[in-house]
Structure 1
């Protein structure tokens, strides 16, 4: 585990440990690593995650709109660029190789897990301030970094999901995680000070972070359930 240089993130992860581990150590993740994940589950996940990333980019764009410093606007904009121009390539290229073109990806119906998670994050941004929004965003951004690094370290490159592991375990993605964590840390320092656990906002930040972790695990679970159902049909 790494805190990506953010004591704030480390504290939230510690206070939400059961939900964090249910997400980052989910059986979907284990199956990605050892290659046992059914292809139908993976493709269902990629199609839903493509839609998720569109909304995630919207949420990071909202972070730029809520930011009051040029450096923060630049950080949020860089994340949007990374999502739209880099991360989503994995989804487009993998699905294209399976005969699923970009138009079909965009026409995919959002599943309930996708709807629940993306709307939760967007609502956190519209109903709260920048810090509330970042607390909802960090479990995805930093959790994928933790998962990618662990799988890249512990699993062979021969797994059929090596491209996914290479994307999230890469130094490029880990650098994005460090930048996002620094952004989170700096915003919190200005909004609630260095003694974040003493802030009256701490319980709400923990609740937001925990809910995002739970929705991440739900997202994995939906991929397993629907993918397996389609494989059996």
Structure 2
């Protein structure tokens, strides 16, 4: 079993609480209140800022040019995504001024600072173990919704679903999985156990992020 597959298995039941969260299920059904989705979008904008910092840190922690290239490509992709996110928010009636003025939620602070702390104090593998639940979970969510739900052109969250069900995003998740598996290959059992614990903690925080979106809390 690959390291990432092992991390996901060991993170149960938290993984299922994350990828089948009520926020996700209601989004899939189109019954998620639009106020919740808008709140999530504004908090996700702030998350993307810290997500960029995570990959910038990964570049610094890299031990060779291949690892540095992977981190750089991820950072560039996130920087491009931020511009798309701003445009998407505008379609939902959220202007840049409102985005820039948004207060950072407690759930977001806890999650992003945890990931950055893992990177600052730990190895590159530990940093990616903390980063991984985001991309791998969103890929599973997008794939699940597309396979299990009828998404017609009038679905209010079709654009969001299409983004994460898209073949390009799915392929990026596969490539991230292979990269992390290679990073973890030389780790000792104790190091793997620590990375797995980090993955589980980050997964729990992803579920808490959905809680924040559903409750519109700060």
- Say if 2:182 is the partner of 1:163: no
| Worse-superposed segment, 203-212 or 41-50 | 203-212
Q: Is the 8 A contact 2:23 2:210 kept in 1?
A: yes
CA distance in 2, matches of 1:157, 1:148: 11
C-alpha distance in structure 2 between counterparts of 1:95 and 1:224, whole Å: 18
Q: Which runs of 4+ in 1 moved over 3 A?
A: none
Partner of residue 201, structure 1: 191
2:44 maps to 1:54: no
The 8 Å contact of residues 21 and 207 in structure 2, kept in 1 or not, is answered as yes
Match of 1:123 in 2: 117
Q: May I ask how many residue pairs the two structures share in their alignment?
A: 216
Q: Which runs of 5+ in 1 are unaligned?
A: 1-5
Candidates 181, 184, 189, aligned match of 1:185: 181
User: How big is each residue's C-alpha offset from its partner over 1:93-148, in whole Å with a ceiling of 9 and x where there is no partner?
Assistant: 23212332223212211000110100000000001010110110011111111111
CA RMSD of aligned residues (A): 1.6
**Does the 8 Å CA contact 2:184/2:192 hold for their aligned counterparts?**
no
Q: Secondary structure at the match of 2:216?
A: helix
Q: Does 1:91 align with 2:104?
A: no
Map of 1:38 onto structure 2: 33
Shift of 1:152: 1.7
Q: Which residue of 1 aligns with 2:22?
A: 27
Sort the Cα spacing of 1:89 and 1:162 in 2 relative to 1 into closer, same or farther, 3 A. Answer: farther
Q: Counterparts of 1:204-215 in structure 2 under 5 Å? A: 204-215=194-205
Instruction: Give TM-score, length-normalised by structure 1.
Output: 0.88
Residue 175 of structure 1 deviates from its aligned partner by 1.3
| 1:90 positional shift | 4.7
